[in-house]
Structure 1
Amino acid sequence: DVFVHATGLTEKVGENDLVSFEIAEDKRGKKAVEVRKI
């Protein structure tokens, strides 16, 4: 599983939107960053 927070979004995304993202590690585990619609 990968956590995503609003600060990782590059644009507004909605339910069922297809997205691409990078995975980054932080002290709590993996998180999605640079999240954008494709």
Structure 2
Amino acid sequence: LFTGCFLTLFTVYAFLAHLSGMYSSSTQSDYMETVYPVF
């Protein structure tokens, strides 16, 4: 149950980060550098 909640929150965070990244190329590059090392 806790894992499911964590995955949901992470998905929402990734979605919001992706939306904010669409407005700026510099933000998009920072988003890539921040998210991909997690995987």
> Taking structure 2 as the reference length, what is the TM-score of the superposition?
0.19
Choose 1 or 2 for highest CA Rg.
2
Higher strand share: 1
> Taking structure 1 as the reference length, what is the TM-score of the superposition?
0.19
Higher helix share: 2
